[in-house]
Amino acid sequence: MPAVDLVIQYLDIFFSGENLTELYDIFSADLKFHGPWINCTSPREYIESLQEDPPEECSYEIIHIFEKNNYVNIIYRFKKPGITTLMSQLFEVHNEKIVAIQLIFDSATFKEG
């Protein structure tokens, strides 16, 4: 599967908030996730964090996709009731598995006023 298709599959599973265990099929056993709120060093750790606080009532609109070698960067508009912000995720893909994800966004957007 092309890396871009794998990344879109990840986004679709993530934003559905359902069947999060399907992520095991597309993650490498040594997945590393780094974001503003959490850092995980295994698929289990990351998926369990999503199950504890699943994505709800959110969606995304892709603005740009960049691909070079084993990397895919997706810039998208994240939408949730009362919140709209730009996000960027850089994915590293090897052997049709996601091995690393770097999530970047302004976390202050999510603070309650």
67-104 tens-digit pLDDT: 999 999 999 999 988 889 999 999 999 999 999 999 99
Q: Structure pTM?
A: 0.91
Matching CATH number, 3-107, of 3.40.50.300, 3.10.450.50, 3.30.230.70, 3.40.630.10: 3.10.450.50
Q: What is the pLDDT of residue 105?
A: 92
Question: Of the candidates 58, 61, 56, which has an alpha carbon nearest to the alpha carbon of residue 77?
Answer: 61
Q: What is the pLDDT of residue 49?
A: 92
Q: Where are the domains of the chain?
A: 3-107
Q: What is the mean pLDDT of the chain?
A: 92
